[in-house]
Structure 1
Amino acid sequence: MNTQLSDYTLVWTVLTVSILLSTLAVGSTILMWRKRVGPQPMQVMDYQPVMRESEKNGRDVNDTLVDWGPETLQKILADELPDTEVIVVSNREPYIHEKTPDGVVLRKPASGLVSALEPITRTCGGTWIAHGGGSADRETVDQQDHVAVPPEDPTYTLRRVWLSEEELKGYYLGFANEGMWPLCHIAFTRPIFRAADWDAYQAVNRKFADAVIAEAKSDRPIVLVQDYHFALLPRLIRERLPNAIIITFWHIPWPNAEVFSICPWREQILDGLLGSSILGFHIQLHCNNFTESVDRFLESRIDREGAAISYKGGTTLVHAYPISIEWPKKPKFITTDPSRTLRDRHGIPDDVKIAIGVERLDYTKGVLDRFHALDEFFTQHSDWIGRLVFLQIAAPSRSDLPAYKLLHEECLALVAEINDRYGTDGYQPIILLDEHHTQEELAELYRAADICVVSSLHDGMNLVAKEFVASRDDERGVLILSTFAGASRELLEALIVNPFDPSSMGEAFFHALTMPEGEMRERMQRMREVVRSNNVFRWAGSMLVDAARLRKRAALTSASDKHKQNNRFSVMA
């Protein structure tokens, strides 16, 4: 009996010690995490991720101390990828030539993709291949359809590809934007798939593949394929340039496998993308969704721990690379108080707060939802009527498509309704500007605003959030950010909201307007640190470092195979 009691005592002692050690380990892990991430401020909503997306990715944690800039990128290319030619492919071009009554003018499109990629291409050099859609684009290229850019100090070549109206209608407006765009964004707009659009999409992808082959000066270029317009392009390039490093970046969300199954050509889309050496998404969730889609629809070997997919004799790395912006220099164009300029232009009194929204007029951006939240805010806090103006930049977009025409009409109607309800002769709560603005004009707008609202219903990243933060060197202003935008994984100090809940989003307006100065500065300082360190050069550099590793691994494998073959011949001799 005493022996049995002794055994029980021993068992309980071991269990108690084990539990104690486990508790200490968990506590130590939590303490280490808190030290690394820092204290997390209270949020309006409970949608905040536990860690920043860049901190979840172990590959990126150690490079946070690197000062990422053009010089860092150039050093990576010189040291890790010497003599490598870089080719960028996108639908949208970085510079557009347009005819005007005063002659040909050059403009830069208001595009998150262009604002992210242009400084990278400017740094790396090489060739950017894109659709030439400007009315004077043909008049400004040479016989090879080339034009040197940027015009004031050329550092790379823009190669324009010409598309017919029929090709644009089927490939761009049809398959890409009536099919893939709503499919991937899950914004409750039904995707439309037509066989004729698919034929045009395939034909245009082949046309761009021909352009890449024509521009490649070697059989080992690095080709940066951009976005959902070119899902077939990586495979088409791989078949003709088997030694190329093909990095494809998907700028929009990737849906779960069940939603993706809606696409009639799902296997072909996946096959095309798996021609890539590296396939990048903004956040890990989109990587996981893509991998699950491959697992469901293709015969492949998936290494989940290594984030790699083996298919058709090749291997594709599937990684998260959160895109960002070029950290701005002190803007020279702001010579006056931006707030004063904006107030004078729109007749906004000094004692009225200004909230802004900036985007293309697209049903994924939640423009109507933020107006409904503003309506709810005025209902619950009527003392703010007359004390807050919402200035909405809604640049026209894809206006030939029925869904966008309807959205424009709904937007105009809702703005009129809210302005009638709360406005007076000298006060309109919403000012809608459905026109394009330059980056310089947007920078002034960001600086003038008290609040910036990003209410995406589903988004890849959304660079407006980061542009707003980067512009606020006065460390003021509040960012209200949708939990469904990829930026919410990094900008944790924003007021994270659910745009489908107008009541709680209205309360976020109240929180932002009444936020103490100290809290506002603390939030903005931390977000600025994140955007400064996680800038666009780090985004591109991470992909190029991975590309260099792939190239070295391939060289080692080739050398090893050659060594084995020589040994085999020696034994035979």
Structure 2
Amino acid sequence: MSQHDLVIVANRLPVDSRTLPDGATEWVTSPGGLVTAMESVMKGVDSGAWVGWAGSPGEAPDPFEADGMHLYPVRLEAEDVEKYYEGFSNGTLWPLYHDVIVDPEFHRTWWDSYVAVNRRFAKAAAEVASPGGTIWVHDYQLQLVPEMIRSERPDVRIGFFNHIPFPPLELFSQLPKRNQVLRGLLGADLVGFQRESDALNFTAAARKLLGYQVDQHTVTVPGIGASEPRQVLAKCFPISIDAGAITALTEDPELRERAAQLRRDLGDPKRIVLGVDRLDYTKGIRHRLKAWGELLNDDLIDPSETVLVQVATPSRERVDAYRQLRDEVELTVGRINGDFAPIGRPAISYLHRSFDRRDMTALYMAADVALVTSLRDGMNLVAKEYVASRPDLRGVLVLSEFTGAADELRAAILVNPHDIDDLKSSVLRALTMSEEEQEEAMRSLRRQVLDHDVQTWAKLFLEDLEEIGRTAKPGRPAIRLHGEDAPARAELEEALAAFARTPRILVASDFDGVIAPIVADRDAVQPDPRSLTALRELTELPGVNVALVSGRALADLDHHTRMPSTVALIGSHGAEVGALPADFHADVLDAAALTMDDSKQSLLESIIRRLRLISSQYPGTEVEIKPTAAVLHTRQARGRGAGNATEAALEYARTLPDVYVTPGKKVVEFSVVHTSKGSAVQALARAAAADAVLYLGDDVTDETVFTVLDEGDLGIKVGAGDTAAQWRIADTEAAAQLLTALRERRGQDR
């Protein structure tokens, strides 16, 4: 799979599928500011990619190219669309983030789907990013993705941009999974918002809900256990439009004629007032129609001279709140037209459909007034599109003060759409504004929009992200194998043969998941006798040393393996070292770091008490106690208990600056002594004077070994998952076969 310097991650790909007459599928670039911005950004990098959903539930298309971009589709099933997209994203987050104009719904199954889909997006992005590359995640549907990517790819720079508002603490606190969402966002290096108030709301939530230190726009994220803290910048980056492209369209004679024809189609009114919105309850369409109906009823507007054109683009029509809104809007439009429209001309021309960029620009050019009456909006690009469409310096923008655009477009007529009287007077003022006043205001508005276009927005964001990346400490090396990718079997056999011919070798392996299949009951584990036999027999060959390196306590490992003294046993991720074989140089192993003292013992007892408290809250979880560590096991937890218990344990871990915390497969280990499998294997290799090392591992903890192996060593991942190992085999069956083959090859060569 190819890797790319810049990876964009968004809910949708930047293309829409279109079926041709012959049945073939054609991909057409989607309209929209984000797509436009990213197109220009992609041209400035050697290799750019976009990860997103193709728009149809079911199996995702294979990766493909369109308009010079490498596109990687993410699969969404119909149930994902229902629960992740329509459910948690648009039934929970959207209303909550838009000031609870409509009550949000909270359903735990929606959250489960949101987590699962976010993990799918994160995995796809992590797989295609180049070492040290940049991943830019977009919008509220993917708020968990930054932290998920960081856990897999700490070597990359991660940016997140929230295109909608971020709510005040009092509203955000209603979200049941609020802390998980905050930590998901804080996985990024840079979190961008539309308005300064949004950035301040976010930092206030991080300070009040998570207890993190905040210094102006910088949030200090504690490391897990003893890992170092990180600095996350939360900042305002108001998004914009491709203003130059829209202005250029207005010079097209065909488009100018189209604008003139629109006026004729509407009966050549003296004034055209335009509203362009997605059919969404946040856009204030009902308030706008109420004000327009009252203006007509009060005889302040003559319907034979002035017409309102309302474009309502279809949106989320499977969601109840949106179906209800459409019924209300269409009923209101019909009533107003029935009461006030002259014969042959509507009082309101209502258009419930989408328009392409050219037709929309023609509408903007024809309109004397644009009404943007959002009750809450992250930005609202319609306001900026209208301004960009008026190089003639005519037209009036009436703009809600509750939009992000209101922070920049100060020369517009700013209005509180909740105040119907204020809205009515603002419309009348716009309709009677002189040409001189229009020109003065539009000149100021156009200067703002043209000087701060979408390309500038993207450039500023990426420059800040790159600057943060320069000061950040590098993460672990990039993964070598993604997902289930694996070199050809013949290549592994060739490497194994070369390893078998090496004069002195160390063969080391994890236990659970490699020598023994993972089972729910840890005490019922059954190691593969073929693997144990191969390991024992390898120790009988000259120049071979063997070690089992496990997260289990040493006594537990010994009990389940019953290995001879010729096999070195390392427990508790290196914190416990068993009796070493006679040919090991024991003095090479530095045991000083493993010493327990009273303070460490006291700390360990405190951790055990806390983990037992967490375990008592989530049935099925259990706490294992080791000489230098305590482990929370969640494999047998019921329902959502595994995830919730892990979350509680990791939240506790951030309060322990001197403890080494290792999340693994259904486990979280807290060690008061700094050890890792990687350092243990390195010490074993020195003690054995090994020329090369072979290591078999399946867990996250085994990555500490794979990342320190040298050229000529063999790191072999057992099972699926991204890994720093250069080789992969399928399972414990394959591990037994590999160890047996190594024993046979080594015996033949000797």
Task: Note if 1:282 corresponds to 2:210.
Answer: no
| Cα displacement (A) at 1:209 | 1.1
Match of 2:272 in 1: 354
Secondary structure (helix, strand or coil) at the match of 2:12 reads coil
Match of 1:510 in 2: 428
Match of 2:479 in 1: none
Match of 1:392 in 2: 310
Pick closer, same or farther for the CA change 1:429–1:121 going to 2, 3 Å.
Answer: farther
| Cα displacement (A) at 1:359 | 1.7
Which of 81, 94, 97 lines up with 2:14 in the alignment? 94
Which of 177, 201, 205 lines up with 2:114 in the alignment? 201
Please give the residue correspondences for 1:239-318 in structure 2 after superposition, counting only pairs within 5 Å: 239-304=151-216, 306-312=217-223, 313-318=229-234
Secondary structure (helix, strand or coil) at the match of 1:527 reads helix
Provide the TM-score with structure 2 as the length reference: 0.59
Match of 1:132 in 2: 54
Secondary structure (helix, strand or coil) at the match of 1:328 reads helix
Task: Please identify, of 359-368 and 115-124, the stretch whose mean Cα deviation from structure 2 is larger.
Answer: 115-124
Match of 1:190 in 2: 103
Instruction: State the alpha-carbon separation in 2 of the partners of residues 105 and 410 from structure 1.
Output: 37
Which of 383, 392, 406 lines up with 1:488 in the alignment? 406
Which of 322, 329, 334 lines up with 1:404 in the alignment? 322
Pick closer, same or farther for the CA change 1:548–1:217 going to 2, 3 Å.
Answer: closer
Q: Say whether the 8 Å CA contact 2:163–2:378 is kept in structure 1.
A: yes
| Cα displacement (A) at 1:376 | 2.4
Instruction: State the alpha-carbon separation in 1 of the partners of residues 200 and 140 from structure 2.
Output: 17
Task: Please identify, of 423-432 and 163-172, the stretch whose mean Cα deviation from structure 2 is larger.
Answer: 423-432
| Cα displacement (A) at 1:108 | 4.0
| Cα displacement (A) at 1:395 | 1.1
Task: Note if 1:227 corresponds to 2:139.
Answer: yes
Instruction: State the alpha-carbon separation in 2 of the partners of residues 250 and 261 from structure 1.
Output: 18
**Which deviations, in whole Å up to 9, do the C-alpha atoms of 1:261-293 show, x marking residues without a partner?**
111000100010000100000111001111111
Instruction: State the alpha-carbon separation in 2 of the partners of residues 525 and 93 from structure 1.
Output: 36
Match of 1:121 in 2: 42
Pick closer, same or farther for the CA change 1:119–1:502 going to 2, 3 Å.
Answer: farther
The amino acid across from 2:378 in the alignment is: G
Task: Note if 1:212 corresponds to 2:95.
Answer: no
**Which deviations, in whole Å up to 9, do the C-alpha atoms of 1:445-499 show, x marking residues without a partner?**
1111111111110000011111111111111111110000000000001110111
**Which deviations, in whole Å up to 9, do the C-alpha atoms of 1:201-246 show, x marking residues without a partner?**
000011011101221232x111110000111000000111112111
Which of 380, 384, 387 lines up with 1:462 in the alignment? 380
In the alignment of these two chains, the number of paired residues is: 463
Which of 54, 60, 65 lines up with 1:148 in the alignment? 65
The amino acid across from 1:317 in the alignment is: L
| Greater relative contact order, per chain length (Cα 8 Å cut-off, separation 6+) | 1
Instruction: State the alpha-carbon separation in 2 of the partners of residues 438 and 184 from structure 1.
Output: 29
Match of 1:162 in 2: 75
Higher CA-based Rg = 2
The amino acid across from 2:320 in the alignment is: P
For structure 2, which runs of at least 5 residues remain unmatched after alignment? 224-228, 477-750
Which of 322, 328, 334 lines up with 2:244 in the alignment? 328
Q: Say whether the 8 Å CA contact 1:98–1:135 is kept in structure 2.
A: no
Q: Say whether the 8 Å CA contact 2:274–2:309 is kept in structure 1.
A: yes
Instruction: State the alpha-carbon separation in 2 of the partners of residues 101 and 555 from structure 1.
Output: 54
The amino acid across from 1:320 in the alignment is: C
Percent of aligned positions that are identical: 36
For structure 1, which runs of at least 5 residues remain unmatched after alignment? 1-82, 559-573
Secondary structure (helix, strand or coil) at the match of 1:157 reads strand
| Cα displacement (A) at 1:258 | 1.0
Instruction: State the alpha-carbon separation in 1 of the partners of residues 429 and 354 from structure 2.
Output: 30
Pick closer, same or farther for the CA change 1:209–1:512 going to 2, 3 Å.
Answer: same
Instruction: State the alpha-carbon separation in 2 of the partners of residues 556 and 212 from structure 1.
Output: 19
Instruction: State the alpha-carbon separation in 2 of the partners of residues 204 and 557 from structure 1.
Output: 25
Match of 1:414 in 2: 332
Instruction: State the alpha-carbon separation in 2 of the partners of residues 339 and 352 from structure 1.
Output: 14
Provide the TM-score with structure 1 as the length reference: 0.77
Instruction: State the alpha-carbon separation in 2 of the partners of residues 192 and 302 from structure 1.
Output: 31
Task: Please identify, of 110-119 and 439-448, the stretch whose mean Cα deviation from structure 2 is larger.
Answer: 110-119
Q: Say whether the 8 Å CA contact 2:409–2:445 is kept in structure 1.
A: yes
Q: Say whether the 8 Å CA contact 2:154–2:475 is kept in structure 1.
A: no
CA RMSD after TM alignment? 2.3
Secondary structure (helix, strand or coil) at the match of 2:130 reads coil
Secondary structure (helix, strand or coil) at the match of 2:231 reads strand
Instruction: State the alpha-carbon separation in 1 of the partners of residues 298 and 220 from structure 2.
Output: 52
| Cα displacement (A) at 1:116 | 4.2
| Cα displacement (A) at 1:100 | 5.7
Q: Say whether the 8 Å CA contact 2:157–2:466 is kept in structure 1.
A: no
Task: Please identify, of 420-429 and 376-385, the stretch whose mean Cα deviation from structure 2 is larger.
Answer: 376-385
Q: Say whether the 8 Å CA contact 1:223–1:246 is kept in structure 2.
A: yes
**Which deviations, in whole Å up to 9, do the C-alpha atoms of 1:310-355 show, x marking residues without a partner?**
33322110000011111224226552423322134xx322243111
| Cα displacement (A) at 1:389 | 0.9
Q: Say whether the 8 Å CA contact 1:459–1:484 is kept in structure 2.
A: yes
Greater percentage in helix: 1
Q: Say whether the 8 Å CA contact 1:98–1:134 is kept in structure 2.
A: no
Task: Note if 1:174 corresponds to 2:94.
Answer: no
Secondary structure (helix, strand or coil) at the match of 2:65 reads strand
**Which deviations, in whole Å up to 9, do the C-alpha atoms of 1:364-420 show, x marking residues without a partner?**
111111111112222344352321111111111100010000000000000011111
Instruction: State the alpha-carbon separation in 1 of the partners of residues 176 and 5 from structure 2.
Output: 36
Match of 2:226 in 1: none
Match of 1:8 in 2: none
Instruction: State the alpha-carbon separation in 2 of the partners of residues 402 and 557 from structure 1.
Output: 46
| Cα displacement (A) at 1:532 | 0.8
| Cα displacement (A) at 1:443 | 1.1
Q: Say whether the 8 Å CA contact 1:361–1:395 is kept in structure 2.
A: yes
Match of 1:543 in 2: 461
Match of 1:562 in 2: none
Which of 341, 345, 357 lines up with 2:261 in the alignment? 341
